[in-house]
């Protein structure tokens, strides 16, 4: 059994003309739900969290800090090298 699928412009325009309010309403409902989700994630949850104070000392791992500072220094060095090099400017007269 072979199924033949044909799409005609007349049928699709008739469908959209007949149901465009429902389609628009469904799109607006989906966007509204998405906005509610964003509000819940980034506003509601962040304002209603309880911060737990730390009673003891904060322990800092020196090796991790050294690795991080080394990466930051390497990035700064590469940025200085890029900024100091004169590149050809095709827009100068």
Residue 16 near residue 10 (C-beta atoms within 8 A): no
- d(Cα 48, Cα 44) in Å, to the nearest integer? 6
Full pLDDT tens readout for the chain, 93 residues: 677 777 788 888 898 899 999 999 999 999 999 999 999 988 888 887 787 877 878 888 899 999 999 999 999 999 998 888 888 888 886
Torsion over CA: 61, 62, 65, 70 (sign)? negative
pLDDT at position 93: 62
- Domain residue ranges in the chain: 9-50+59-84
- Residues 53-68 as b or e (16 or more Cβ within 10 Å = b): eeeeeeeeeeeeeeee
């Amino acid at each position: 059994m072979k199924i033949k699928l044909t799409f005609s412009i007349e049928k699709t325009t008739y469908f959209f003309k007949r149901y465009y309010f429902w389609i628009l309403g469904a799109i607006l409902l989906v966007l509204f739900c998405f906005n509610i989700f964003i509000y819940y994630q980034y506003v509601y949850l962040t304002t209603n969290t309880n911060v737990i104070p730390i009673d003891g000392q904060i322990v800092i791992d020196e090796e991790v800090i050294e690795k991080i500072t080394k990466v930051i220094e390497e990035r700064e060095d590469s940025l200085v090298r890029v900024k100091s090099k004169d590149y050809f400017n095709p827009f100068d007269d």
